[in-house]
């Protein structure tokens, strides 16, 4: 923490967040920019719908372009690999990387801090601000709370540490839960509703015992389609999209599976390594980006899940004997 604080203090910095950035990424970047100025936030691959809601709620300004030569320091938050900064091709050596996904070796030459015990990157940033002895202010506290809320699936994937941190910010800054939840509410646009309906109609599924895995593809809103497939009865869902030679894939699974040892981040990290792409994330939510045929990748994800389901079924049967 002290090394990070020393690096962040005083330097003119660019703060980068992953493509299709969510409130955890944007809230973390906003908190750093407010508490460790001067800083510009750059979202090279844009924001997702909930990220845009947070941006509008706090009038967060995003820099239109990133040139590393314009800054003394580059900071990357909530991003597990350089490929997630697409279309950027990389960041300078000596940049700061703060993340909460599975630790990896994809950031050589960086000041790398990763704590995968945290349900959100926002918790790390809150700890960092406290360690520096800074007053984050009410807006920053609320932005971090929005990140904690959304990255934990509205607490479904959270842990006791996240709940304690969320409650402490509520108390310290007199923030009511409904204020935080209001920031995350946005009317679903017709394009998202159409994409979800198409994604569900295109889905395929298979099962081992009582476990069901579903796959689908679309042109956008992959995570929303994943949630719809889980709500429709799947235990795990993989949804991908194709843009020329590049693909993007989102994955979600039930908390029952996570408690049983199923870990989507580990699965997509392994498949990413096998296919020379980049994958990773949390136990119940993960993603992958890279070059290749998305339908082939989805097929691999289904087969891998089916194999793990068989292992889980066989373990359960042996324990009953």
Confidence of residue 309 (pLDDT cuts 50, 70, 90): very high
* Residue 178, C-beta contacts closer than 8 angstroms, at least 6 positions apart: none
Quick one: which of 227, 296, 308 has its CA closest to 264? 308
Residue 7 has a CB neighbour count (10 Å cut-off) of: 18
pLDDT tens for 264-277 read 999 999 999 999 99
Residues 83 and 167 in one domain: yes
Quick one: which of 58, 26, 59 has its CA closest to 44? 26
Q: Identify the pLDDT of residue 219.
A: 82
Residues 216 and 163 in one domain: no
Mean pLDDT of 83-111: 91
Residues 158 and 18 in one domain: yes
Residues 110 and 211 in one domain: no
pLDDT tens for 44-57 read 999 988 999 999 99
Residues 170 and 205 in one domain: no
184, 206, 231: which is the final residue of a domain?
184
User: At which residue do the structure tokens 């509703």 appear?
Assistant: 193
Residues 301 and 177 in one domain: no
Residues 140 and 226 in one domain: no
Which is more confident, 43 or 153? Answer: 43
Residues 112 and 162 in one domain: yes
155, 184, 213: which is the final residue of a domain?
184
Residues 274 and 254 in one domain: yes
Percentages of the chain per state (helix, strand, coil), in multiples of 5: 45, 20, 35
What CATH number is given to the structural domain containing 226? Answer: 3.10.310.40
Residues 129 and 48 in one domain: yes
Q: Please count the structural domains in the chain.
A: 2
Domain that holds residue 214: 190-320
Residues 174 and 237 in one domain: no
- Predicted structure pTM score: 0.79
pLDDT tens for 224-259 read 999 999 999 999 999 999 999 999 999 999 988 988
Residues 147 and 65 in one domain: yes
């Amino acid at each position: 923490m002290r090394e990070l604080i020393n690096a962040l203090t005083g330097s003119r910095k660019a703060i980068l967040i992953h493509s299709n950035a969510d409130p955890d990424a944007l809230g973390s970047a906003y908190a750093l920019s407010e508490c460790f100025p001067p800083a510009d936030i750059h979202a090279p691959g844009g924001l997702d719908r909930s990220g845009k809601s947070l941006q509008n709620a706090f009038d967060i300004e995003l820099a239109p372009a990133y040139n590393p030569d314009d800054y003394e320091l580059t900071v990357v938050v909530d991003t597990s690999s350089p490929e997630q900064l697409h279309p950027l091709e990389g960041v300078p050596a000596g940049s700061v990387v703060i993340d909460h996904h599975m630790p990896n070796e994809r950031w050589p030459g960086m000041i790398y801090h990763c704590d995968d015990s945290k349900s959100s990157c926002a918790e790390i940033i809150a700890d960092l601000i406290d360690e520096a002895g800074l007053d984050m202010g009410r807006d920053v506290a609320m932005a971090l709370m929005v990140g904690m809320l959304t990255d934990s699936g509205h607490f479904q994937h959270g842990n006791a540490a996240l709940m304690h941190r969320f409650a402490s910010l509520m108390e310290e800054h007199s923030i009511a839960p409904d204020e935080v939840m209001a920031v995350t509410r946005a009317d679903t646009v017709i394009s998202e509703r159409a994409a979800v309906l198409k994604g569900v109609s295109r889905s395929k599924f298979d099962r081992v015992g009582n476990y069901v895995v579903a796959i689908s593809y679309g042109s956008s809103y992959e995570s929303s389609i994943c949630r719809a497939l889980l709500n429709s009865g799947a235990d795990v869902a993989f949804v991908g999209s194709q843009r020329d030679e590049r693909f993007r894939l989102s994955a979600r699974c039930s908390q029952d599976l996570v408690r049983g040892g199923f870990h989507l981040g580990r699965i997509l990290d392994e498949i990413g390594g096998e296919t020379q792409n980049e994958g990773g994330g949390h136990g119940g939510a993960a993603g992958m980006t890279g070059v290749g045929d998305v339908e082939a990748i989805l097929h691999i994800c289904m087969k891998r899940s089916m194999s793990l389901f068989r292992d889980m079924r066989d373990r359960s049967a042996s324990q009953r004997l």
